[in-house]
Amino acid sequence: MEDTLYPFLNVYRRLPSWMQTAIGFSYRALPKWFRLGPFYDEYKRRINHFISLTKSAELSALQLDLLKETVNSAVLDVPFYRQFNKMKEFNDIYDYPVISKSDIVGNLDEFLSTEFNSSGLKSNTGGSSGTPMTFFLHAGRTRPKEQAHFDWFWGQYGFVPGSRVLMIRGAPLKNNALYEFQAIKNCLAVSCYELNSDNVSEAVQEARRFHPQFIHGYPSAVKNFMNSIIENNRLAWDIPIKALFVGSEWLSEDDRLSMTSFFNSKVVTWYGHSECAVMGGNSVDSSEFFFYPFYGYAELLDDNGKPVKTPGQVGRIIATSFDNFVMPFIRYDTGDLGVLSHKNTLGNMPCLVLKKIEGRTQDFIYLQDNTRVSLTAFIFGQHLPQFAKIREMQLEQHKAGHLILRIVRGRGYDANDERDILNRLCRSVSGKINIEFSYVNSIEKTHRGKHRFLIQKIDDQKK
């Protein structure tokens, strides 16, 4: 039902607020099996089955069955993969090539199933940090699976469907409002476009009336909300929160610690992407990323295409999807980088575990001698004390050796902070970069409300 109604979502959003609320409450009251279809319960049963098993051989066999189901369906029905043999065992995965976005863009029909094409849901990646791409999800499977997965994942922290959530993420609200109640999700949405230190007291007052149990947002938006409260001397956060769910952007360890302290609550994050091929999240006891073997198949490869086996080594995250037979992603290069952990299980389940997500392959700056330096190492790994005085920050680069550092100043930021940041960053790269500071009142978000940390106009071919 939800996939059928999804094309009418924009119509629903244009309705008067009272009508949205009435429809939302009525819709949320319907049983999930009716709203989301049978695959919602099927995926939940899969999770429970994986969790219940204690023998790694049984768990590996289950994942292999799911992997073979995807790959062998593609060999039969997807034009690009008809040249390959069917998969029989895990090592056969290396017989299939690693595919990038650029391989799919312009050749979309080659990656679409001829058997399941009528079940496709057209979607796209925004292209804010890479190549824009149109792709297809599987109606009746992908969206119910996502809902079931997050109901389970968040449920580890006390969330149940219908819990009250303060949401700080996503597209602009109707009439550019600061906040609105969204009955379908039982959430109070606060606009990450409109929020600032001047109106944050209004948002906090509304949150007190709503009494949220959880916060869900982009890390940059939650950080802005937190800093706006801190800068308002007459305001404090006094609402008990069970957990903060922050995703869809990179979360620095400094920001995790400051959010944990400010909201007096656990901060939970995860790794996923629009293509819904793999998913990795924190566990109750660890902030590392455990890639769920019941969701998809994840690999970590080095620059030579070989599996990363040494803990601490960085590699590319490669994804093979389960449950999408319209457009299966097989050994798909996500463009994201991760650091291998010394762990290799979640409970009893063998899985890929990453110590941290490094960012995207595009998240690099270039020095005067064309040396490439990761954004993580150059900025976030520095743990600069001045970060506490910066509301928002963005880097932009048009030529090697020159960087624009765009800053929204917070309370207490002054010329000494600029000098210290400049000296620290330049010293870290032996002076091989010039930094131009630009102070602005706000930083433009993407159309989905995300914050772009780096606008990189240089690529490897045009340095």
What pLDDT was estimated at residue 209? 96
**For residues 372 and 129, what is the distance between their CA atoms, to the nearest angstrom?**
17
Q: What is the dihedral of CA 302, 306, 309, 315, to 10 degrees?
A: 20
462 has a pLDDT exceeding 60: no
What pLDDT was estimated at residue 9? 66
What pLDDT was estimated at residue 275? 93
- 53 & 134 share domain: yes
What pLDDT was estimated at residue 404? 95
- 53 & 142 share domain: yes
Count of CB atoms situated within 10 Å of the CB of 428: 16
387 has a pLDDT exceeding 60: yes
Is 260 within a domain?
A: no
At residue 3 the predicted structure's pLDDT band, cuts being 50, 70 and 90, is: low
- 13 & 111 share domain: no
- 317 & 345 share domain: yes
Residue range 66-79: mean pLDDT, rounded = 98
What pLDDT was estimated at residue 403? 95
Q: 119-128 pLDDT, tens per residue?
A: 899 887 754 4
- 43 & 139 share domain: yes
Helix (H, G, I), strand (E, B) or coil at 285: coil
This prediction's pTM = 0.81
Is 266 within a domain?
A: no
**For residues 37 and 143, what is the distance between their CA atoms, to the nearest angstrom?**
10
Q: 320-372 pLDDT, tens per residue?
A: 999 999 999 999 999 888 999 999 999 889 999 999 988 665 577 888 988 77
Tell which of 360, 382, 400 closes a domain: 360
102 has a pLDDT exceeding 60: yes
- DSSP bridge pairs for 353: 290
Q: Give me 368's structure tokens.
A: 């005067």
What pLDDT was estimated at residue 128? 42
Radius of gyration, alpha carbons of the chain: 23
What pLDDT was estimated at residue 86? 97
What pLDDT was estimated at residue 31? 72
The CATH number for 112's domain is 3.40.50.12780
- 141 & 278 share domain: yes
- 132 & 90 share domain: yes
Range of the domain at 7: 2-30+160-241
Q: Is 74 exposed, middle or buried (0-12, 13-18, 19+ CB in 10 A)?
A: buried
What pLDDT was estimated at residue 220? 81
The CATH number for 419's domain is 3.30.300.30
Residue-averaged pLDDT of the chain: 88
**For residues 224 and 236, what is the distance between their CA atoms, to the nearest angstrom?**
14
Tell which of 188, 223, 241 closes a domain: 241
Identity at 76, one-letter amino acid code: L
Q: Are β-strands 364-366 and 454-456 bridged in parallel, bridged antiparallel, or unpaired?
A: unpaired
Is 90 within a domain?
A: yes
Residue range 171-186: mean pLDDT, rounded = 86
